[in-house]
Amino acid sequence: MEISDNQLVSRILKGDTNTFATLVDRYNSQIFNLMYRYSGSTEEAADMTQDVFLKSFEKLESYREQRFFSWLYTLALNHAKDWSRKRQTNEQKLARLKHDSSTNEQHASGELESQQENTSLLKALETLSPDNKEMVLLKYQHDHSIRELSEIFNLSESAVKMRLHRSLAEVRTVLTGD
């Protein structure tokens, strides 16, 4: 039987700090993927992920019996936004796009077509605000519920649904060129 996140947090706060590794194992890939989406660099994402877990350990006493993932993801999202504001420049975005296009040229036609579709989708997602992009990815790539999204983004469930609806419409418009 798997121990709940809240039980693990309780153990950690009582002094069993080694238990924190279990939480890291549970959520490392999701936090890393978020950091990678913001940084575009494996090395940078790994560093940022480590920073998030360090910060979450330091702030664990401020955690209040809610969904641990929502709390952690909110912390991670704020960290990614802070990093992005400080470091993300137009040159980095351009370099990433150049890398994507040169990578696409190296693949066979079937793979090239699929990658071009993915690139188009990623470019369309880039037109969204960072929060709306994350919301779409969490919902449709990571299958998080509307309720979880409302907790992460501190919005009502109806506001989350509306943002998702508008974001998908915006992506659809960009993809179809309408």
Q: Are residues 84 and 11 in the same domain?
A: yes
Asked whether residue 111 falls in the same domain as residue 165, the answer is no
pLDDT in tens, 33-60: 999 998 888 999 999 999 999 999 999 9
The answer on 16 and 79 residing in a single domain is yes
Residues 7, 60: one domain? yes
Do 110 and 139 sit in the same domain of this protein?
A: no
164 and 103, same domain (yes or no): no
Phi then psi for residue 88, to 5 deg, are -70, 120
Q: Of 65, 88, 111, which closes a domain?
A: 88
63 and 75 in a single domain? The answer is: yes
**What are the pLDDT digits (tens) for 90-106?**
455 556 655 655 555 55
Q: Number of C-alpha atoms within 13 angstroms, CB side, residue 69?
A: 16
Question: Residue 158 pLDDT > 50, yes or no?
Answer: yes
User: Residue 23: in which H helix or E strand, if any?
Assistant: helix 20-39
**pLDDT given at position 91:** 53
118 and 40 in a common domain: no
Q: Are residues 5 and 75 located together in one domain of the fold?
A: yes
156 and 84 within one domain: no
Same-domain status, 121 and 71:
no
Q: Supply the pLDDT for residue 175.
A: 81
Give the domain extent around 43.
1-88
Confidence of residue 128 (pLDDT cuts 50, 70, 90): confident
CATH assignment at residue 65: 1.10.1740.10
One domain, residues 109 and 140: no
Q: Which two tokens stand for residue 106?
A: 């190296």
Instruction: Answer for the pair 63, 71: CB distance below 8 angstroms, yes or no.
Output: yes
**CB atoms closer than 10 angstroms to residue 160:** 21
Q: Of 69, 88, 107, which marks where a domain is finished?
A: 88
